[in-house]
Amino acid sequence: MAHDTFISVFYVYLCRCYGMAVSVAGNENHESHVPKRIIMLEFKNVQLEAVPHELSFVARLGEVTAIRGERGSGKTSVVNAILGRAPVVSGFVTIDGELVTVGSAPFFRKTVSYVPQDVRLAVSRLSVVVDEMLAIAASQGRGCAKAAVAAEMATLGITEDVLRTDVRSLDGRLVRLVLAALGSAIGGSIFLLDEPVDRPDTVMSSFLRRQAERGRCVVVTESGDYVDCDKTIMI
């Protein structure tokens, strides 16, 4: 297994799922460092190709920030800008005052746990996903016991039997909830979830609130008023 030291666990795994190259360009000045604990994510006058207006907001530790808009409004483009997967047209995205660019993003991704909207898994069981992500986390020095994942799943009302169930029989929401539980167990200052639910969901709201109370910066995209949040950014 490759030791992609400064790329988030979720990003490495999803790159493999989607057959994307995993780039570590831009790490040269950070090889002996683990990213410090993130305090603030900021968009300042950011223009993205898929979003019709500029975005300016601050997401802080201890808060749940919702990026809300109709389907096709560009929410995933905002997520990609945070991950450094897409350049901004103008303005800037910063983490604690440091610019997030395509070149610097691999370093910052280590601070992120990311749950995508469209999860296509080329495996038969979620247990395979959990085992591989935990192995990637261990290679990055973010060791986590499988029991911790099970405990997080339990807070969402999910039993370990789900991990042994054929993925094809599971709905997308349940898969995303399992990945959210995994992201919670692995950790990271920024918890980024792209449309984890498509209707009001008290279970997810409570889960995200607990993440914020643990001192994480939680950023979630949604198409409606589905989760409890501290601030809402309309796009």
pLDDT in tens, 66-107: 999 998 899 999 999 998 888 899 999 999 888 998 788 877
Output the average pLDDT for the chain: 82
- Whether 99 contacts 177, CB under 8 Å: no
Calculate the alpha carbon distances from 147 to 10, 144, 154, 185, 196 in Å: 19, 8, 10, 9, 23
pLDDT (tens digit per residue) in 153-181: 999 999 999 999 988 888 888 888 898 99
* Ranges 51-65, 83-97, 110-124, 164-178, most confident: 51-65
Q: Name, of 27-31, 33-37, 56-60, 124-128, the range with top average pLDDT.
A: 56-60
Overall pTM > 0.85: no
Owner of token pair 């800037």: 92
Q: Report d(CA 201, CA 130) in Å as an integer.
A: 24
Q: Does residue 1 surpass a pLDDT of 50?
A: no
Cα–Cα dist 105/83, whole Å: 6
Higher-confidence position of 199 and 11: 199
